[in-house]
């Protein structure tokens, strides 16, 4: 997982953050281990840890604070067809429409507008409003495949809120398709 401010079409790409620190691509998690947290120059000074150039203000009327910027998952080595082909029973989640997570970023739930059932390695029909929930550490330990660059999409949101006084800001999330096992999935009437 990387902090990457250098993908031109991604929402939070920039050369310097709002403290004036030069921004460059950095691995945050490499091969499953946290190697560097998010944290701008001031946070690096206070914590004694390495960080990234992520001090950002939403506008002239708000002070810069540590924010996400472009937070990406690096591509793996499998095309989508191969990943689906290895799934006996699952859901292809698409079009996220709902998100909720606790303040420790631990217990999460996401809802999608649309999905497809996967049976014996093949896509089978539409699934409406599939939701999934879990606990972050367990969820990421259940990551079983990462899609290659052909599955990689640059996404993000223009209105991520945080801070006091409140600030709404653009964040980018680029990611390949990923496969997770043992996920609690439910639908409209669960």
Partner 1 sequence: MTRTADQAQPFKALVQWLKDALRETEQFTLSYAAEASEFIRFNHAKVRQAGQVQQASVHFKLIDNGRHADLSITLSNDPEVDRQRLADGLQQLRETLPLLPADPYLMLNHTHWQSHHVQDQPLPGSEQVVEEIGRAGAGLDLVGIYAAGPISRGFASSGGAFGWHQANSFNFDFSLFHENGEAVKASYAGHAWDSQAFALRFQQAREQLEFLGRPLRTLAPGQYRAYLAPAALEEIIGMLAWGGFSAQSIASKHSPLQKLYAGDAALNPLVSLDEQVSGSLSPAFSDEGYPRSDLSLIAAGSANAQLINSRSAAEYGLTTNGAGSGEYPSALNMAAGQLSQQEILKQLGTGLYISNLWYLNYSDLPAARLTGMTRFATFWVENGEIQAPVSTMRFDDSVYSLLGSQLEALTEQRELLLSASTYGQRQTASMHLPGALVSRLTLTL
Candidate residues 129, 139, 148, 152; the one interacting with partner 1 per rule CB under 8 A:
129
Q: How far is the CB of 149 from partner 1 (least distance, A)?
A: 31
What letter would DSSP give residue 79? -
Q: Which stretch binds partner 1 (CB under 8 A): 21-29, 40-48, 74-82, 133-141?
A: 133-141
Q: How far is the CB of 190 from partner 1 (least distance, A)?
A: 8
Rounded CA Rg of the chain = 18
Which residue's CB is nearer to partner 1, number 22 or number 135? 135
- 10 Å CB burial of residue 23 (0-12, 13-18, 19+) is buried
Kindly state the number of chain residues that form the binding site for partner 1, as judged by CB under 8 A: 30
Q: If you search the block for the tokens 């809120």, which residue do you land on?
A: 161
In degrees rounded to 5, what are phi and psi of residue 54? Answer: -130, 30
What letter would DSSP give residue 77? S
The verdict on 165 binding partner 1 (CB under 8 A) reads yes
Q: Which stretch binds partner 1 (CB under 8 A): 43-51, 70-78, 141-149, 158-166?
A: 158-166
Q: Are 55 and 114 in contact (CB under 8 A)?
A: no
Q: Are 118 and 84 in contact (CB under 8 A)?
A: yes
What would the x/- binding string for partner 1 be over residues 34 to 73, using CB under 8 A?
-------------------------x-x-x----------
The verdict on 168 binding partner 1 (CB under 8 A) reads yes
Which residue's CB is nearer to partner 1, number 81 or number 184? 184
The verdict on 100 binding partner 1 (CB under 8 A) reads yes
Q: If you search the block for the tokens 């490499």, which residue do you land on?
A: 30
Residues in the chain: 190
Which residue's CB is nearer to partner 1, number 131 or number 151? 131
The Cα angle at residue 107 between residues 105 and 113, in degrees rounded to 5: 100
Q: How many CB atoms lie within 10 A of CB 83?
A: 24
Which residue's CB is nearer to partner 1, number 33 or number 104? 104
Residues that bind partner 1 (CB under 8 A): 59, 61, 63, 97-104, 106-107, 109, 111, 129, 131, 133-135, 161, 164-168, 184, 187-189
């Amino acid at each position: 997982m990387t902090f990457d401010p250098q993908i031109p079409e991604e929402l939070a790409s920039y050369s310097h953050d709002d403290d004036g620190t030069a921004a460059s691509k950095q691995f945050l998690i490499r091969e499953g281990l946290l190697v560097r947290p998010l944290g701008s120059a001031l946070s690096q000074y206070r914590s004694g840890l390495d960080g990234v150039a992520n001090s950002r203000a939403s506008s002239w009327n708000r002070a810069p604070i540590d924010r996400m910027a472009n937070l990406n998952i690096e591509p793996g080595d499998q095309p989508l067809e191969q990943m689906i082909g290895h799934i006996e029973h699952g859901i292809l989640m698409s079009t996220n429409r709902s998100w909720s997570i606790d303040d420790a970023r631990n217990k999460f739930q996401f809802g999608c507008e649309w999905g497809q059932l996967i049976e014996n390695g093949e896509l089978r029909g539409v699934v409406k409003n599939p939701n999934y929930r879990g606990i972050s550490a367990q969820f990421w330990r259940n990551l079983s495949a990462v899609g290659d660059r052909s599955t990689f999409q640059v996404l993000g949101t223009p209105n991520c809120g945080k801070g006091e006084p409140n600030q709404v800001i653009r964040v980018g999330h680029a990611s390949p398709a990923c496969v997770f096992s043992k996920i609690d999935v439910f639908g409209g009437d669960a």
